[in-house]
Amino acid sequence: MIIPQQKWAWSVGDVLSTVSSVMAFTVVLLHHERWVVLRRMFLLGAIMYGLRAVVLGVTFLPPSFHDRDEICLSQVNRSAMYGMEIATRFLTYVVTLGLTSGQDKILCGDLMFSGHTVVLTIMYFVQLQYTPKGLVWMRYLAAPITFLGISALVVSGGHYTMDVLIAYWLTSHVFWAYHQMFEMPKKDRPDAPMSRL
């Protein structure tokens, strides 16, 4: 490892993910086609997290933390409390939106495809694609926030470099492929199937 693990960087990654999300939702709310953009954003998020679920189901990488026994929740053994433990961990993950910097112990088995990077990348591209002309300055803030957030995740030791690069690459390709397939000239939109997606 070129840079030793920096524990403070994980919180920075979480904060920058939140800032990027707030900026992207602000852009969406100010957009004249906000419902269309919001549906697109959530559809792309669902596609990416569906892909992530498949990848995580078939791939396991050991946690990248040096002190993984102190940071990571232990693996669940099949016992009488198995179902309850899974439900509790799932609910915690959903309620915190995957942001884990405030927790004592975190889930550490979801490497190979960074969820933080998926969020940062989608929010970045939403800002690039949909920022109104009067708020172009937000685009200049989006790039450093996104790339500093991704860098913080790697420096923290919470994600491997490969893990965030794969997530960025896949998310960018899905985002731009979606927009290439479904963006049509305005005159063709009203009658086109799936034009409101």
Phi and psi at residue 106, to the nearest 5°? -125, 165
Q: How is 138-168 classified by DSSP, letter by letter?
A: HHHHHHHHHHHHHHHHHHTTSS-HHHHHHHH
Degrees to nearest 5, angle at CA 91 with 88 and 95: 140
Using CA of residue 142, residue 144, residue 150, residue 153, what is the dihedral sign?
Answer: negative
The residue type found at 190 is P
Cα maximum dimension of the chain: 60
Enumerate the active-site residues: 116, 159, 163
Dist. CA 117–CA 113, nearest whole Å: 8
